[in-house]
A and B are shown apart, each in its own frame.
Chain A
Amino acid sequence: MRHIISVLLENEAGALSRVAGLFSARGYNIESLTVAPTDDPSLSRMTIVTSGSDEIVEQITKQLNKLIDVIKLLDMTAYPHIEREMALIKVRVPEAADREEAKRLADIFRGRIIDVTHDTYVIEITGEGSKLDAFLVALDGFTVLEVVRSGVMGIARGDVALQI
């Protein structure tokens, strides 16, 4: 089963490689991993999307907790939560009709066009992974030059908060 694990860890050199190294050394799946400092610059927050049986995910959380740099973690999957991913997509739009169609599709998916040249658009789109997938399918008729996906971020709904 797919799990989204959010981790608060010390914002120190090497902390990311400890987590990445743990996943490769123990053969755990890793679908995506995002990390950035939080409002407290001494802390980083990482969102890991992984999959495995209950036993494996239990081991993953225990092994993550065992890392000295990890302060706290939360398996979002156990709670109602919101997940978001962002994609930046560069498409070729040489004709006026292409530009109109790209704009129309972006609007439908609540994307935004954030860069325009005479024959390319860069579209920014945010949502769950499945929405991003659907948008890419919708762009099927276009020449897609580049796709950048951020990986998933997650946050629990309501009072549940991952904080120290």
Chain B
Amino acid sequence: MSESSSSFTAITGAEIFCRSLQAEGVEVVFGYPGGAVLHIYDALYRQDKVAHVLVRHEQGAVHAAEGYAKSSDKPGVALVTSGPGATNAITGIADAYMDSVPLVVFTGQVPTSLIGNDAFQEVDTVGITRPCVKHNFLVKDVKDLAATIKKAFYVATTGRPGPVVVDIPKDVTADTCEFEYPESIHMRSYNPTSKGHTGQIRRAVELILSAKQPMIYTGGGVILGRGSEALTEFTRQLGYPITNTLMGLGGYPASDKQYLGMLGMHGTYEANMAMHHADVLIAIGARFDDRVTGNIEKFCPHAKIVHVDVDPSSISKNVKVDVPIVGEVEPVLRELIKGLNENGGKPDAEALATWWKQIEEWQAQDCLKYDQTSELIKPQYVVQKFWELTQGDAFVTSDVGQHQMWAAQFYRFDKPNRWINSGGLGTMGVGLPFAMGVQFAHPDATVGCITGEASIQMCIQELSTCFQYQLPLKILNLNNRYLGMVRQWQEFFYQGRYAMSYMDALPDFVKLAEAYGHVGIQITQPGDVEGAIKEALAQKERLVFLDFITDQSENVYPMIPAGAGQNEMILV
């Protein structure tokens, strides 16, 4: 194949697919072959610029692509076949939609002549995915293929990012036409706003400077919008307290003294109390999710709210805001900093000192404390040790449940893109494939997967992929033999009736890891935790599965129960 991105001899749709991906600078595609994509796989096989990673289940392909995208500044790409290939990919696509992950997912489709005939391995992929994609396309003519791929990458990566599905019938991949990849694309119906409105910026600056009890609340938009440097500058200049959402962890350095920890249902007492008592709330790239706000009627009752978001529909969706600014987080933060400097005003130092004094009182509650003397392994302790032993510099993925909250509370992220989890959809099973994608994006980095014995089994087959590609992941399985978060809710709200939350007949995870060609270690004593993590980190070339047998009765604290306000936390 020639280097140029245009060719005046006709090539097949499958070759156009490969050449388009090359033109987009795609380095790796996560996928699984099948009948409808055989032409594409043949073309992939005959080129060497785009690598293909063979997963063991299509769900894993999409999650791996998500992990790749979330930890880097590139979109993730997945390729699956028609029918069950596409339906298996849906969970990953929905997950990416909820967390605004830039993805392009290619699905094979039956030949155009068979569409609608209930053909073998046919599903209406465009129909099924419609509610959980940013956009989708069915390519019916090979002449449209290159331009559609260009559009797909453009839509996925601009504005509020999200997954885009491109459904390609098999005959389109065999048909031929001349290939020319568009340099740029214009869509009359899609023009995301980037810069904030000048008047709104000015109003925001005035409101921000008028605050007596300010609070900065930032979300995943800061990570996605590469705004953490600007956010740090903005926050330090003001001297205001800041909290990050679950999706926003790492957007502001957790080790900084202005940082109050995560907020929300399992956030810190100080972050939630400061939210509740704030008079000016500065929300940046966050969407006032119900896990953050608690009871919406009781949310931030005293605050005037500034809200910066690239998606106009996020503004005033759940909470009415006073100064909305539609735009990309990074440029808007730069404009806000400029506005602060031009305004020349300073925050009210006296009020701020009083406010910080109040916050320090809340901090003195030490809401994340846990029993350090237990003879059982405390899950918090495992995460804390992993944080210490990796100097807080690992990439960490998690699954969904108690371990996810402990990871978020005890692994203190100082950098963006290091914390990869499923915040919106809450998808159990993502941790391992996420970690694979992260390791492909960062081959030399330490990648930890903090998981539980229930979640890890939902995509356990990907251990085979990890062996094939020799991915030296460190899996920390916080094994409490319960669906821990379900058990916790049953303890609190269902009088301890533990319906189906007990994981009976667990596999021997050490043998399981070994069966897949990896190293497995079981840890039962608190005194062995540190040594085991050190050993896992020392095994630079191997995947190590650490099976920590943890305290079954441990709960995630603090907690805002459903229906309560942010000032109504259950402490330990």
Contacts and interface: CB of A to CB of B under 8 A. Distances in A.
Given A14-B130, A21-B130, A62-B313, 17 more contacts: A17-B127, A17-B130, A18-B130, A25-B131, A55-B316, A55-B320, A59-B313, A59-B317, A62-B315, A65-B313, A66-B313, A68-B134, A68-B135, A68-B189, A69-B189, A70-B189, A71-B188
Interface in A87-127: none
B147 interface: no
Contacts of A32: none
B57 to A, nearest CB: 27
Interface string B313-335: 10111001000000000000000
B530 interface: no
Contacts of A63: 313
A10 interface: yes
Contact of A71 (B134, B135, B189, B312): B189
A99 to B, nearest CB: 46
Interface in A16-36: 17-18, 21, 25
B8 interface: no
A9 B189 contact: yes
B138 interface: yes
B311 interface: yes
Nearest to B136: A14
Nearest to A72: B189
Interface of A is mostly: helix
Query: Which size bracket describes the interface of A in this complex?
Result: 20 to 34
A62 B287 CA distance: 15
Interface string B153-174: 0010000000000000000000
Contacts of B320: 55
Nearest to B134: A68
B126 interface: yes
A134 interface: no
Contacts of B130: 14, 17-18, 21
B190 interface: yes
A164 B188 contact: yes
A20 to B, nearest CB: 10
Contacts of B312: 62, 65-66
Contacts of B187: 68
B313 A13 contact: no
* Residue of A14, A66, A68 ringed by the most chain B CB atoms within 10 A: A68
18 contacts: A9-B189, A14-B130, A14-B138, A21-B131, A55-B320, A58-B316, A59-B317, A62-B312, A62-B315, A65-B312, A65-B313, A66-B311, A66-B312, A68-B134, A68-B135, A68-B189, A71-B188, A164-B188
Contacts of B126: 14
Interface of B: 126-127, 130-131, 134-135, 138, 155, 187-190, 311-313, 315-317, 320
B149 to A, nearest CB: 15
B244 to A, nearest CB: 25
Interface of A: 9-10, 13-14, 17-18, 21, 25, 55, 58-59, 62-63, 65-66, 68-71, 164
A45 B315 CA distance: 27
A68 B317 contact: no
Contacts of A9: 189
A135 B224 CA distance: 57
Contacts of B138: 13-14
Contacts of A69: 189
A21 B135 CA distance: 13
Nearest to A71: B189
Contacts of A17: 127, 130
A14 B188 CA distance: 17
Given A18-B130, A58-B316, A68 B188 contact: no
A68 B313 contact: no
A34 B312 CA distance: 26
B312 to A, nearest CB: 5
A58 B126 CA distance: 27
Contacts of A62: 312-313, 315
Contacts of B134: 68
A70 B189 CA distance: 6
Contacts of A25: 131
Contacts of B189: 9-10, 68-71
A9 B188 CA distance: 10
Nearest to A58: B316
Nearest to A63: B313
A58 B135 CA distance: 22
